[in-house]
Structure 1
């Protein structure tokens, strides 16, 4: 193996060092600056993208906060409108109930008055019928008919006792 021949070892070491130096300085001088520019450009692009993403996130958070505030405000307005509608409906119902109550009271008084008149008329009719019936009964038992005034007085007394 020629690599292990000590006579050619020093020239091989020279050429290794020479090629290594040429490759090293070629890479350092030409390739590394290009690679550095590419890495710097990518780093700048990533930093810019991160900054853009952060500003977009901040803007989205602001829009979300404004949306949430708008929703909360709309809910409060809806609640206030609902409360006002309930109060107005309550007042309307109270007004209608008051009118209906007055109408019912008027009708009730009229009905009570009519009922009292009918009761008085019925009591008069009952007293008249009772007076005639008692006069007929007395006439059958005694053979003598009592006067209408006496029969009416007796019927009134009997009705009042019960």
Structure 2
């Protein structure tokens, strides 16, 4: 059969061109393009990794800066609290001092008032005793017709009041 003898020649030609075509594709695409694409992918991966590392470093720096700011803020807050506490203590001490001075003045006035009251009471008691002794002498004169001297009347009234 002549067709079978042509098969080998036909297939050999097809196999040759298939190998030539795939060889060309292998060398052009596999050896030429793929390494460039792989280099681009690797460069992109490296850029992404570098960007992530830079972002991590920036975040760490921001965290450190925030911590430093918080520490400084807490220190400023503590200083402010200390100043406020000192101001309160100073104000309390000044108020205590003014109150003590006012209390001293008031105590002095009270002592003067007590002395005046005691003097007025003693004076009033003396007058009452004098009036009572004069009244007792006058009553004894009118009722009993007795004459009582002032010393005896004073002694009797003092004994009645204090006795």
| TM norm structure 1 | 0.81
Deviations 1:22-41 (A, max 9, x none): 33333212320221121122
Residue in structure 1 matched with residue 54 of structure 2 by the alignment: 52
Per the alignment, residue 131 of structure 1 pairs with 133
Deviation at 1:86, TM superposition (A): 2.2
2:36 aligns to what? 34
Q: Equivalent of 2:97, from 95, 98, 102?
A: 95
**Which residues of structure 1 form unaligned runs of 5+?**
1-6
Alignment size in residue pairs: 155
Deviation of 1:10 (Å): 4.1
- In structure 1, C-alpha distance between the alignment counterparts of 2:135 and 2:12, rounded to whole Å: 167
CA RMSD, Structure 1 to Structure 2 (Å): 2.4
Alpha-carbon shift at residue 157 of structure 1 (Å): 1.1
Q: Which residue is equivalent to 1:78?
A: 80
2:75 and 2:131 mapped to 1: Cα distance?
80
Q: TM-score, normalised by structure 2?
A: 0.80
Pick aligned residue for 1:66 from 52, 62, 68: 68
Q: Pick from 110, 119, 122: which aligns with 2:121? A: 119
How far apart, CA to CA, are the structure 2 residues paired with 1:74 and 1:13?
Answer: 88
Compared with structure 1, are the counterparts of its residues 34 and 147 closer, same or farther at alpha carbon in structure 2 (3 Å cutoff)?
Answer: same
